[in-house]
Amino acid sequence: MKYPFIIKDFLKSCTTPDFAGLITVASEIKRIEGILRQRLDPETSRHVRLGEIAGGELTLYVDSPAWAGRLRFESGDIISIINKIEVTSSIHSIKIHVMPKLSEPAIPPREKSPVHASAEFAHLVEALAEGETDPILKASLAKLARKGRVGQI
């Protein structure tokens, strides 16, 4: 019987230079991102992901333009944080890209549930509709009263 395997173990067992290089780069990015998250304030670190370090340029991804603007002001501090870490090359600039959906939505979407109205409510709305002079509002209230009697509000 074959058992499921852990992808991390599979990738470690790959001996081709491409896989080994990929694992090394991914591990280094993960390590640097962890250090960067520790040094940034918690609110900022939730909105930032490290992309890559290439040619002395650090690429960061943020989840909104507001965070991109804030990080541009903090780019000098971020460069000094990264340069204190043992990386293969020193960083002299930061590129910031906005990439929505990096973090989970703060408020989960609400599920619409049917609202049930009582017969008393339907009668009250119906009486209100009868006394209304505006024909559009009167029609809307009458429709609401009908739905209330059926229980479809």
Instruction: Give me the tens of pLDDT residue by residue for the chain, a chain 153 residues long.
Output: 455 656 666 666 666 666 667 777 778 888 888 888 888 888 888 888 888 888 888 889 998 899 999 999 988 888 888 888 766 567 888 999 998 765 555 556 667 666 667 788 888 888 888 888 889 988 988 888 887 665 555
Same domain, 129 and 69: no
- Same domain for 138 and 68, yes or no, is no
Q: How many domains does the chain have?
A: 2
CATH number at residue 22: 3.30.300.180
Backbone phi and psi for residue 5, each to the nearest 5 degrees, phi listed first: -115, 155
CA distances from 116 to 54, 58, 141, 146, 148 (A): 60, 56, 16, 12, 7
Q: Establish if 89 belongs to a structural domain.
A: yes
Q: Which domain holds residue 93?
A: 12-98
One domain, residues 19 and 81: yes
87 and 146 belong to one structural domain: no
Of 11, 62, 12, nearest to 36 (Cα)? 62
